[in-house]
A and B are shown apart, each in its own frame.
Chain A
Amino acid sequence: MINAAKIPLKSAVKIRIAGPMSGVAEIRLRAGRPGVCVGILGDMRVCSEPFSAAEIADCFAEICRYSVHSFQEDIARGFVTLDGGHRVGICGTAVTKGGKIEMFKDISGLNIRIAHEVRGCADEVYSRFFSGDPRSVLIAGKPLCGKTTVLRDLARRLGERHRVTLIDSRNELSASFHGTPTLDIGLNTDVLCGCSKSDGIMLALRTLSPELIICDEIGNDGSAVEQALFCGVKLIASAHAASLDELWKRPQTRGIAPFFDCLALIGDRGRLLDHRENKG
């Protein structure tokens, strides 16, 4: 049994995980229930004694570095990112103002997604789409299949040869700490942290002259994507979808999917399951 020491939280002392942390995708903490560890293959195991509501509240305060005011925007979007790029999803009661979520109170659960740096996990995608001139690729996959890890590895490899801008709205890709990426994202990769994807794409186009822009979980950012792709810049993005047909039909992605040169579907550990070239 090992302590979840990789997670920079004192509250993690209570969590006990059998086996290496590299096999852990998520740790879910819920008030009144024991912690559950989700493996990278989707297997679930109990990994702690039940957490009280007060312990969850303490854990949340610690996640926010005792500075909820500094993470207000992130909390309103439902997550906070820990040092090391681990993303913590928040469950609780939403506090709304003018119909928009402003905060969460009565925190009832935390979902800690462990960031993994897996060098080489994007090899298959890289050799398929980027061995020649770079192309715009929309990478789809189910939740937890490793899309973010693949994008990070692509950034590392492409950043060796091209000018890459990484739009890291949730600080998961680069795990930047005080502005310095703590994960390997490539020699020539610039990072825009904290801004929305559409703002980040526009900023990058105006000021950073990238050859490639990489961003995670693209959705309603159609006009920015169009702008980027018609400016001669290649875009690599990821989106949730279980198949390429689903990607084509999803309201969030059907508007942008035709603009990409290729669509790729990945499975566990970045395995390329399917791909499609967009003609014209």
Chain B
Amino acid sequence: MRFLAAIIALACCVLEGFRRSAALKKRALFLGEISRMLSDFLIGIRCSGLTLDELIGRAEGKFAELLRGYTRVGEDAKSAWEKACSRLPQKYAEASLLTELGQSIGTSDRDGTLRLIELYAERFSVLESDARQAYTQKGKAVMQIGALCGVAAAVIII
């Protein structure tokens, strides 16, 4: 019985380590997608004068998918953006940054909108590099700590 409990504790701790490491990786990837999406927005506005709807329609990544999920059911770009932001994990800075961007994007002329997107692209690029660094530094450590904790728990139980 104790042996079984030890195995379960070990498995749980290892999985938790994996989960935390995957979360770090997922955040870094998500921020990378946002940076790319904003670069695409800049190109779309600069070269083709695309509307927010059209930019969303062409964008790639999970956030863009989330936005399209709302625009497909008839939401306008603004409310789709608001709703998509409310579904992001609120503990990270990207949720509030995206909300701020959504409130201001498309409200000024071409120069103003391009400058706004460039500003936010820079902010996201800083967040992305921090998140990548965090994953490189902590990703493996978190998994190892999870495994060690699991082993420790198993030993204590046995």
Binding site for B on A (CB under 8 A): 10, 61-62, 64-70, 72, 102-103
Chain A residue numbers with a CB within 8 Å of B113 are 68-69
A106–B110 Cα distance when bound, in Å, is: 17
Tell which of B45, B51, B108 has the most Cβ of chain A within 10 Å. Answer: B51
A71–B114 Cα distance when bound, in Å, is: 14
Shortest distance from the beta carbon of A33 to any chain B beta carbon, whole Å: 24
Q: Say whether B137 faces chain A, with CB atoms less than 8 Å apart.
A: no
Shortest distance from the beta carbon of A61 to any chain B beta carbon, whole Å: 6
Shortest distance from the beta carbon of B99 to any chain A beta carbon, whole Å: 15
A62 and B53 contacting across the interface, CB-CB below 8 Å:
no
| B: number of interface residues (CB 8 Å) | 18
B109 and A70 contacting across the interface, CB-CB below 8 Å:
no
Known: A61-B106, A103-B109. A69 touches B49 (CB 8 A): yes
A72 and B110 contacting across the interface, CB-CB below 8 Å:
yes
Chain B residue numbers with a CB within 8 Å of A68 are 106-109, 113
Per-residue CB contact flags for chain B residues 50-94 toward chain A (1 = under 8 Å, else 0) read: 111100000000000000000000001110000000000000000
B78 and A66 contacting across the interface, CB-CB below 8 Å:
yes
A67–B55 Cα distance when bound, in Å, is: 10
A65 and B51 contacting across the interface, CB-CB below 8 Å:
yes
B49 and A66 contacting across the interface, CB-CB below 8 Å:
no
Q: 11 other contacts beyond A65-B52, A66-B106, A68-B113, with CB at 8 A cut-off?
A: A61-B107, A65-B53, A65-B106, A66-B51, A66-B107, A67-B52, A69-B106, A69-B113, A70-B45, A72-B49, A72-B109
